[in-house]
C-alpha cells in the first residue's frame, strides 16, 4: 500500500498564559526543551516533516527588540541535516509575551516584527504557521475564560482577539516573505461540527456553524461586506470596518490547511432546565472527520490534511485512532480531494490537557513516545511502529 500524502510527527509545544501570572510551558514539562536527542527519535520514524516551535514567548519574553534564537538555531539546523522539513510555529495557544496580549492593538505588528526576525535567521524554512488554531485560541481565551485574558461570553474581546490574530498572520507572512519569498502558509485549526438536538438551540448552533471557518476566510480576504459573518464582527463584536478592510487588503490564502480533530471536536447542544448543554456528539451518534473534511474543502477549496492525530488512551487505542484517520484521508484522496498530510501529534506526550492546562495535576499522556518529563528518556510506543510504517508507505514509489 502506498500512502499518497506526507507523514508528520510533532511535539506538543504550547506556551499558554493561563492567567495573568500563570504560564504553562509544555516544552519544558514534557522534557523536550532540554533534549536535543529527541530530534533523532523523530528522524528514526522516517517522517517528512514536523511542526516545530520557535515560540515568541520563549525567544523574546521581555523586550520585542531582544530576540534570542540560541535554542531554536541548532534544532532547526539539525532538522535540516536530518532531512525533516520544519513547519515553524511562532505562537501555539499563546497570547504573546507579557508586553502584549491577544486584545492588544499592537499585537499584529509585534508578531510580524518577530516573524521577520526569525525568517531573516532561517530564510531556508519553507513552511510557516504564525499562529496555531487562531479561532480556537480566541474562543478559549475570550468566550470560555480558559486562557488569558480569561473573559467569558465577551464578543468584543473575541472579535478583537481573532482579528488581531489573523491580521498578525497575514502581516507575519508578508514579513517572512521579505527574507523567504517562496514561504508557504500552513494554517492549523480545529475541525468542528455542531448539532442542535432541540429547537431552542437552533439559532445558537447556526451561529457556531457560521463561525467555524472564520479565521481561514478572514486570512483569505473573504470577510468583506456581504459575507455572512461581516455584520457579526462589526455590529456585535465592534471590530472596526477599517481593520477588516486592512486584513482583506493583505490577504494571504493558506497553501495548506491542517485540521485538528479529536473525539470531542463534534458537539451536540440542547436545553435542560433552561440551560444549554454542550456535550460531545459521540455520546449520541457515531462521529467521523471524513464528511467534515469534505465539507471544509467544498467551502474553502484549499489543499488540506489532518494536523494532529492523537487521543488519550492506551497505545492500542491510539494506534486504532491513527489507523481510522489514515483510512479517512485515503478515502478522500480516492475521491479526488487534495489531501496533502497526516500529522501524528504529541510525539513526546503531553500533560494536564484534560483540564486545558488549568490544573497542575500531572495528568500525563503518552504519544508516539512515552511521556518522560524533564528527567526521563522517551521510549517508543506501538504508535511509533505504526508511524514508521506509514512513513515508509508514503515514500513508496508505486502502489503494491
Q: Report CA 172 to chain centroid distance, whole Å.
A: 16
Does 399 map to a domain? no
Does 400 map to a domain? no
Does 275 map to a domain? yes
**In this predicted structure, what is the pLDDT of residue 253?**
97
Does 1 map to a domain? no
Does 10 map to a domain? yes
Does 355 map to a domain? yes
Q: How far is CA 207 from CA 25, 214, 253, in A?
A: 33, 11, 24
Please tell me the total count of domains within the chain.
1
Whole-angstrom Cα distance, residue 31 to residue 10? 14
CB–CB of 260/266 below 8 Å? Answer: no
Give the domain CATH number at 269. 3.20.20.80
CB–CB of 147/86 below 8 Å? Answer: no
DSSP codes, 367-400: -SB---TTTS---B-HHHHHHHHHHHHHT-SS--
Other CB atoms within a 10 A radius of the CB of residue 204 amount to 15
- Cell digits for 73? 538555531
**In this predicted structure, what is the pLDDT of residue 397?**
64
Q: Grid coordinates 472564520 are at which residue?
A: 214
Does 331 map to a domain? yes
pLDDT in tens, the chain (400 residues): 799 999 999 999 999 999 999 999 999 999 999 999 999 999 999 999 999 999 999 999 999 999 999 999 999 999 999 999 999 999 999 999 999 999 999 999 999 999 999 999 999 999 999 999 999 999 999 999 999 999 999 999 999 999 999 999 999 999 999 999 999 999 999 999 999 999 999 999 999 999 999 999 999 999 999 999 999 999 999 999 999 999 999 999 999 999 999 999 999 999 999 899 999 999 999 999 999 999 999 999 999 999 999 999 999 999 999 999 999 999 999 999 999 999 999 999 999 999 999 999 999 999 999 999 999 999 999 999 999 999 999 987 643 3
Does 12 map to a domain? yes
Pairing of strands 22-25, 15-19: antiparallel
- Range(s) of the domain holding residue 267: 6-394
Q: Where in 109-217 does DSSP place strands (E)?
A: 127-129, 184-190, 193-196
Amino acid at each position: 500500500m502506498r500512502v499518497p500524502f506526507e507523514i508528520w510527527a510533532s511535539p506538543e509545544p504550547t506556551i499558554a498564559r493561563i492567567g495573568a501570572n500563570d504560564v504553562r510551558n509544555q516544552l519544558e514539562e514534557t522534557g523536550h526543551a532540554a533534549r536535543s536527542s529527541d530530534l533523532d527519535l523523530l528522524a528514526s520514524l522516517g517522517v517528512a516533516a514536523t511542526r516545530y516551535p520557535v515560540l515568541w514567548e520563549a525567544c523574546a519574553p521581555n523586550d520585542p527588540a531582544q530576540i534570542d534564537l540560541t535554542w531554536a538555531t541548532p534544532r532547526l539546523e539539525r532538522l535540516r541535516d536530518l532531512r525533516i522539513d520544519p513547519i515553524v510555529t511562532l505562537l501555539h495557544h499563546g497570547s504573546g509575551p507579557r508586553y502584549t496580549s491577544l486584545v492588544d492593538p499592537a499585537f499584529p505588528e509585534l508578531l510580524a516584527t518577530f516573524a521577520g526576525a526569525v525568517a531573516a535567521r532561517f530564510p531556508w524554512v519553507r513552511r510557516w504557521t504564525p499562529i496555531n488554531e487562531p479561532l480556537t485560541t480566541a474562543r478559549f481565551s475570550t468566550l470560555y475564560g480558559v486562557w488569558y485574558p480569561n473573559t467569558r461570553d465577551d464578543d468584543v474581546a473575541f472579535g478583537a482577539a481573532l482579528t488581531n490574530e489573523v491580521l498578525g498572520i497575514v502581516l507575519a507572512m508578508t514579513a517572512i516573505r521579505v527574507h523567504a519569498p517562496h514561504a508557504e502558509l500552513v494554517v492549523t485549526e480545529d475541525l468542528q461540527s455542531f448539532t442542535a438536538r432541540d429547537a431552542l438551540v437552533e439559532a445558537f448552533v447556526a451561529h457556531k456553524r457560521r463561525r467555524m471557518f472564520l479565521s481561514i476566510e478572514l486570512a483569505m480576504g473573504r470577510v468583506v461586506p456581504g459575507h455572512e459573518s461581516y455584520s457579526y464582527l462589526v455590529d456585535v463584536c465592534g471590530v472596526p470596518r477599517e481593520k477588516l478592510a486592512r486584513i482583506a487588503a493583505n490577504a494571504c490564502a493558506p497553501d495548506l490547511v491542517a485540521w485538528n480533530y479529536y473525539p470531542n471536536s463534534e458537539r451536540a447542544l440542547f436545553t435542560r432546565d433552561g440551560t444549554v448543554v454542550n456535550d460531545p456528539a459521540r455520546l449520541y451518534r457515531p462521529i467521523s472527520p471524513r464528511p467534515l473534511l469534505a465539507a471544509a474543502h467544498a467551502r474553502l477549496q484549499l489543499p488540506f490534511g489532518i494536523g494532529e492525530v492523537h487521543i488519550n488512551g492506551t497505545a492500542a487505542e491510539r494506534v486504532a485512532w491513527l489507523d481510522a484517520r489514515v483510512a479517512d484521508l485515503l478515502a478522500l484522496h480516492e475521491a479526488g480531494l487534495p489531501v496533502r498530510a497526516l500529522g501524528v501529534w504529541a510525539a513526546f506526550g503531553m500533560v494536564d490537557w484534560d483540564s486545558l492546562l488549568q490544573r497542575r495535576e500531572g495528568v500525563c499522556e503518552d504519544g508516539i513516545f512515552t511521556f518522560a518529563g524533564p528527567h526521563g528518556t522517551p521510549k517508543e510506543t506501538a504508535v511509533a511502529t505504526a508511524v514508521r510504517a506509514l512513513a515508509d508507505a508514503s515514500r513508496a514509489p508505486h502502489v503494491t
